[in-house]
Amino acid sequence: MNFQLSEEQGMLREASRDLLSDRAPIEHVRAWMDRDGDDGDVDPEVWRLTADLGWPGLGLPEEYGGSGQGLVELALVAEEMGRALGRGPFAPTAIVGRALTATGSPGLRSEVLPELAAGSAWATWAFAEPRAPWSLDGVRATARVDGGAFVLDGVKTAVQDAGGARWLLVTALHDGVPASFLVERAAPGVTVRRQRTLDPTRAFHEVRLDGVHVPDDRRLGAGPGGIQRLLDEASVLRCADALGVMRRLLELTVEHTTTRVQFGQPIGAFQAVKHSAADMALLVHGAHAATHYAAMAADADTDDAARAACAAASYVSAGAGEVAARALQLHGGIGFTWEHDLHLFLRRARADSVLYGDAAVHRDRLCTLLRPSPTADS
């Protein structure tokens, strides 16, 4: 498999890294972590600059103002977001945009996608629920028909950047079958509450739906299969974010071990430290291969796209935690301190390891995908 970037993809990565390092360095991230309320979700100036760079419309069709790129290009930006601890609704907006592009009605696409592409509004996916697995089996919110509309009830958790979102893509059970609905954030019956989470570099919210009326044309055409595919794509983007975190953890560790001196020499000269750093590098390379293959498989719609997404998600979920643990060990006690940047990457890595399902969720599904069907020859 050739993972070499094209010239355009290389330029996208370079431009994304330059923007984040110049306009959203770690000092900027720390300053925004201390803000309360919805105004702390997204820096409007940084979001405007990302819109000028074309991020919001990167994966949207050209007819709606987008660039028509695929999951590979979205993953490149997501990786840079993770590497810089970037905050903002890039990933959730990209996922909702892909859902609307694939199964939204023409009228709904014409109404929403141009605004998403321009960056004048953003959207997020309200899928996970409290004390439930991040899978279709964990959906408990309900949708019932009332005249010419649907009425939604339920509670969603860990909804990224919901506070300032214009739209919420809500997954709920209609007649016992998962379905997706595009809901106005300001609709009556929608309550959004900021959550305190392990990861302070991003904003997550609880969303309550109490008798929320949604017009019939706001239901997307995706059934369980389409929603599962969207979960796979969201997992790949989460893997890309975690890959960026893992890369930065490795860089910080190499820098520390080559400058920290003990017994008259850098600690990186000791064999045990070298071996641990080499193990970190192997995990990073494995995460790169798994993530980018999954993105390429999704874009090509290959037969193994779902298996590739599960394999990447399970590998990266476990690998991110291992890289974070080794980075902390090699930094010593300084890695625990609030003043050192390492602990912010540790928190982000831990959050990425459970978003859109932890390793156990994806391994279980992978086993199901690999199990021969009952009709297959033994």
Same-domain status, 146 and 256: no
* Domain end residue (candidates: 122, 140, 167): 122
Is the model's pLDDT at 287 over the cut of 80?
yes
Let me know whether 213 and 228 are in one domain: no
Alpha-carbon distance of 67 to 85, in angstroms, equals 25
| Cα first-last separation, the chain | 31
Q: Is residue 375 a part of any domain in this protein?
A: no
Whole-model pTM: value is 0.95
Residue 72: inside a domain, yes or no?
Answer: yes
Same domain? For 145 and 248 the reply is no
Tally the domains of the chain: 3
Query: Can you tell me which residue has the tokens 């293959």?
Result: 293
Specify the DSSP class assigned to residue 164.
Answer: T
Which among 111, 130, 132, 131 is positioned nearest to 121, based on CA atoms? 111
pLDDT of 338 reads: 84
At 33, the pLDDT band (50, 70, 90 cuts) reads confident
* Domain match, 288 and 208 both: no
24 domain residue, yes or no: yes
pLDDT for position 32 = 86
Q: Is residue 149 part of a domain?
A: yes
Written as one letter, the residue type at 277 is A
Residue 67's pLDDT is what? Answer: 97
The enclosing domain of 213 has a CATH number of 2.40.110.10
Is 361 found in the same domain as 266? yes
348 plus 283 within the same structural domain: yes
Nearest of 359, 287, 281, 289 to residue 327 by alpha carbon:
281
Q: What is the pLDDT of residue 148?
A: 87
* 3 state SS of 32: helix
Domain that holds residue 93: 7-122
Does 112 reside within a domain?
yes
Least confident of 155-159, 165-169, 328-332: 328-332
Q: At which of 218, 238, 256 does a domain end?
A: 218
Which two three-digit tokens encode residue 158?
A: 């860990």
Structure tokens at 54: 């074309």
Q: Is the pLDDT of residue 14 over 50?
A: yes
Q: Which of 122, 145, 175 is the last residue of a domain?
A: 122
Question: In this structure, what token pair is assigned to residue 264?
Answer: 């008259």
Q: Mark whether 91 and 133 lie in a shared domain.
A: no
Mean pLDDT confidence for 228-235 = 98
Is residue 321 included in any domain, yes or no? yes
pLDDT tens track for 47-96: 999 999 999 999 999 999 999 999 999 999 999 999 999 999 999 999 99
Assigned domain for 2 exists: no
Bin 301: left if φ > 0, else alpha if -120 < ψ < 50, else beta. Answer: left
246/170 same-domain check = no
CATH number of the domain encompassing residue 293: 1.20.140.10
Give CA torsion, residues 6, 314, 58, 45, to 10 deg: -120
| Residues 92 and 168 sit within 8 Å (Cβ to Cβ) | no
Task: Flag whether pLDDT at 39 surpasses 80.
Answer: no
- 227, 136 contact by CB (below 8 A): yes
How buried is 147 (Cβ within 10 angstroms: 0-12 exposed, 13-18 middle, 19+ buried)?
A: exposed
Residue 239 pLDDT: 98
d(CA 211, CA 195): 22
Q: Which residues contact 104 (CB under 8 A, 6 or more apart)?
A: 112, 182, 220, 221
Determine the pLDDT at residue 378. 42
Asked if 237 and 365 sit in the same domain, the reply is yes
Q: Are residues 91 and 60 in the same domain?
A: yes
Q: What is the mean pLDDT of the chain?
A: 94
Does the pLDDT at position 97 exceed 50? yes
For the stretch 117-147, pLDDT in tens is 999 999 999 999 999 999 999 999 999 999 9
**378 within domain boundaries:** no
Question: Closest by alpha carbon to 348, among 207, 235, 225, 244?
Answer: 244
Q: What are phi and psi of 24, to 5 degrees?
A: -140, 55
Torsion angle defined by CA atoms of residues 66, 135, 297 and 302, in that order, rounded to the nearest 10 degrees: -110
Q: What is the CATH number of the domain that holds 61?
A: 1.10.540.10
- Tell me: do 67 and 167 sit in the same domain: no
Cβ(371)–Cβ(338) below 8 Å? no
**Residue carrying the six token digits 């201390």:** 34
| pLDDT score, position 373 | 65
Cα 72 to Cα 77: distance, rounded to the nearest angstrom: 9
Cα dihedral 276, 281, 286, 287 in deg (nearest 10): 100
The count of other CB atoms within 10 Å of the CB of residue 191 is 12
Asked if residue 321 and residue 247 are part of one domain, the reply reads: yes
